Structure 1
Amino acid sequence: MRFWKILGPGLITGASDDDPSGIATYSQAGAAYGLSTLWTSIVAFPLMAAIQQMCAKIGLVTSQGLTGALKTHYPKWVLYLMLLFSFPAIVMNIGADIAGMGAVGNLLFPKIEATYFSVVFTIILLFLIIYLPYQKIAAILKYLCIVLLVYLIVPFLYKQDWFDIAKNTFIPNLQFNEDYVAVLVGILGTTISPYLFFWQASMEVEEMEHKRKHLIVNKKIIHDMKQDVDFGMGFSGVVMFFIILTTGTVLFKGGVHQIDTVEQAAAALKPLAGDFAYLLFAIGVIGTGLLAIPVLSGSLSYIITETFGWEQGLDKKFHEAKAFYIVMAISLILGLSLNYIGVSPVKALIYTAILYGMTAPVLIAIILHISNNKRVMGNFTNSRFSNLLGFAALILMTAAAVTLLYLQFFN
């Protein structure tokens, strides 16, 4: 029970990483290449954990979100550049997730159009975000993480070759062709996403203020934060692993090699793995959307309100932080509207990946700089091991960004 109480921002951040758009990316990797991308979940975990720990520590030590730290210690153009790239990327991500949830709702209830489901889910999310206090929202998000456990059940409903699974998990099976590299870049962009950096730091501040401990940062608080982040990122990696495992065994072996959306993945599972596996997969998509969309809209709202110095916080009521909640509402409405102006969810995901890919390396470099700055972090600067993992993430994400730009614009 004590460990469950420790879990909070780290668990929610990790679980929200496996949103419907992430599920689509992992499903495509499994369908196209079988089990040969399973190893990415092992590689991604320590890099994700290291960066998210740095963001959380910045929030705890400075009592500011990542935007606040950027605003205080860096030129304004850096902050505005991040805002310029983050706003469209997060809105498109929200739009793709809402569309995915709507499409899966239509699969479960074919007589009701997907657009109706998308509107209903958006209204539900708006109501919950605006009217529930922070403590309730945090509890709901925390317990929604349990929905992701359905993806750990699905592979066991299908006969597995566990030796082949172990081999592909621990021995990278690299293929040097354009499509395989594009899938790897997509996986990296989905797992190490800039909006998670902002959310993690802001939520740590929110947690501390809620517990009235924002002036007391000690080794125990840092230790608890690391446990929370490690568990959250580990949980995210396990879910990612099992989605690739499911689609890599069921769809790939069943001859289904092209998956562009989550509803295609769910629909393809039905004849190959049975109704129960299909139902669990579909329910998981809706659950992860309800978890991830408040995180996406919340991170954008923290970015904008901290940039302009407006009142902010999920612990505040609507009349106390109108701008904060209005930004969240606008982001949801804009995301929903993408489905009505001809921007397909697949294109939205591609554009999102490009924008995330361009901003992630810059943000990781800034996070590393802040985390090693004694004037900002005092006695809580990075250890050598954290820096090693951080620089590995920086190099990998820079390589991914360059590759992504090459594949999209120069090839």
Structure 2
Amino acid sequence: MKKKYSISGPGVLIAAAFIGPGTVTTCTITGASFGFTLIWAMVLSIIATIFLQEMAARIGLVTNKGLAEVIRSQIKRPSIRLFAILLILSAIVVGNAAYEAGNISGGVLGIEALGASGSFEVGSLTVNGWSIGIGILAAIILYIGSYKVLERILVGLVLFMSVAFIITAMVTKPDIVAVLKGSFVPSFPEESIFTIIALVGTTVVPYNLFLHASLVTEKWNGTEALPIARKDTIVAVILGGFVSIAIIVCAAAIQGQEISNAADLAKSLEPLFGEYARYFVGIGMGAAGLTSAITAPLAAAYVVQGCLGWEKNIKSTKFRWVWGGILFLGIFFSSFGYKPIDIIQFAQVANGVLLPIVAGYLIWLANRKQLLGTFVNKPWQNIISILIWFIVLGLGLKSILKVFDIL
């Protein structure tokens, strides 16, 4: 960020993390089902993400610790501390292990949308070679253990993904006035409430808060980097928001068709806008899958490191065992087509509980002068943060009720 218009830093890694297959699929279904009318929900999500991620980054830079480590050190009662650690470990580690198969499978869908099938038979089993290939590539990138290398690769992938989806959106020649109206005028079409919640939920991600607090300490030292970190967060998250909005715009071009994921979007766009549209969507989806396949295991490793008080070293054997285990589970389930439904449902419940708790802790920590000194929240930041907390509380309750079929 030394150059005025450079795009670099932990913020881009956070954008890489939240624009995964889940976000691509949610935005695709949103556009195909409701056109431009729910873009405002994505704008709201981006604002909420900027505020929460900025607080996480600020706490990381001032304390030079990961968020899990700060929470552990600030909770004095042993019983509450133990509950918090178990909840964080369950939601982030188990959750990311469950979702990793989806990240890798999403990347596979993008590659296969280009017409390259990777399935082959091993005895009576059908194995997807692309899943193994994406997993191995992610493992190599993580094993290098260099923040600078990781940052450059993910920055490249995010820019690649951004160009792919934004160009596809431009090819569809959307009604700009309708897009702007959908961005700034809230509306609630019939049966849209769950889609609105899904848009916010796929952008405001608990593990990204832990990831961001740790990454800023890898990139910078001390509070003098706070202005750069804040700018990095705002620019990168807004860029991620533009990508998400571009996907909604793409899908709105084929509104009314039966669409369930980005691969369907790629196939549906081809007859209308030519084969290049399919290629751009496929490339974008492949990049989204790979970026999330890298960042999810990395976030889990940082969380375990902070919760258990391990030495802060991205190249340590313990650190590598954590991300390696999560990546292995993702490759295994994705390669053989297994869907660990029970684990995913558990992860949804844990994340539903964790999101409002972590957001609440963030607001609490960001107001502790004993911890942050003069870098505590300003009054206007607290007002907006509390509003965001009520939103994520609703998200958490909804995700729990949905898992148990109460909603």
Per the normalisation by structure 2, the TM-score is 0.90
Q: Is the 8 A contact 1:206 1:313 kept in 2?
A: no
**CA–CA distance in 2 between the matches of 1:47 and 1:195?**
15
**CA–CA distance in 1 between the matches of 2:94 and 2:344?**
11
The one of 92, 96, 100 aligned to 2:102: 96
What's the CA shift for 1:354?
Answer: 4.5
What's the CA shift for 1:46?
Answer: 1.8
The one of 205, 208, 213 aligned to 1:193: 205
Structure-1 residue corresponding to 2:186: 172
The one of 251, 254, 269 aligned to 1:251: 254
Alignment length (residue pairs): 392
**CA–CA distance in 1 between the matches of 2:278 and 2:341?**
21
What's the CA shift for 1:335?
Answer: 1.4
Structure-2 residue corresponding to 1:211: none
Distance 1:352 1:277, change over 3 A: farther
Q: Is the 8 A contact 1:21 1:349 kept in 2?
A: no
1:7-406 superposed matches below 5 A: 7-74=8-75, 75-113=81-119, 115-131=128-144, 133-147=146-160, 148-177=162-191, 180-208=192-220, 214=221, 216-218=222-224, 221-248=225-252, 250-252=253-255, 255-259=256-260, 261-314=261-314, 316=315, 321-339=316-334, 343-344=338-339, 353-406=348-401
**CA–CA distance in 2 between the matches of 1:186 and 1:192?**
10
What's the CA shift for 1:343?
Answer: 4.0
**CA–CA distance in 1 between the matches of 2:234 and 2:291?**
19
Q: Which shifted more, 343-352 or 102-111?
A: 343-352
What's the CA shift for 1:90?
Answer: 1.2
Q: Which shifted more, 364-373 or 96-105?
A: 96-105
Distance 1:35 1:270, change over 3 A: same
Per the normalisation by structure 1, the TM-score is 0.89
Q: Which runs of 5 or more residues in structure 1 are unaligned? A: 209-213
1:98-137 deviation per Cα after TM superposition (whole angstroms, max 9, x unaligned): 0111122223244432811010110111112103522212
**CA–CA distance in 2 between the matches of 1:78 and 1:186?**
25
What's the CA shift for 1:5?
Answer: 5.3
Opposite residue 230 of structure 1, the aligned amino acid is: I
Q: Percent identity?
A: 21
**CA–CA distance in 2 between the matches of 1:28 and 1:53?**
29
Opposite residue 331 of structure 2, the aligned amino acid is: L
1:360-400 deviation per Cα after TM superposition (whole angstroms, max 9, x unaligned): 11110011111101111111101112212211111011112
What's the CA shift for 1:275?
Answer: 0.8
**Coordinate RMSD, CA, aligned:** 2.2
SS at match of 2:128: helix
Q: Is the 8 A contact 2:34 2:189 kept in 1?
A: no
Q: Which runs of 5 or more residues in structure 2 are unaligned? A: 76-80, 120-126
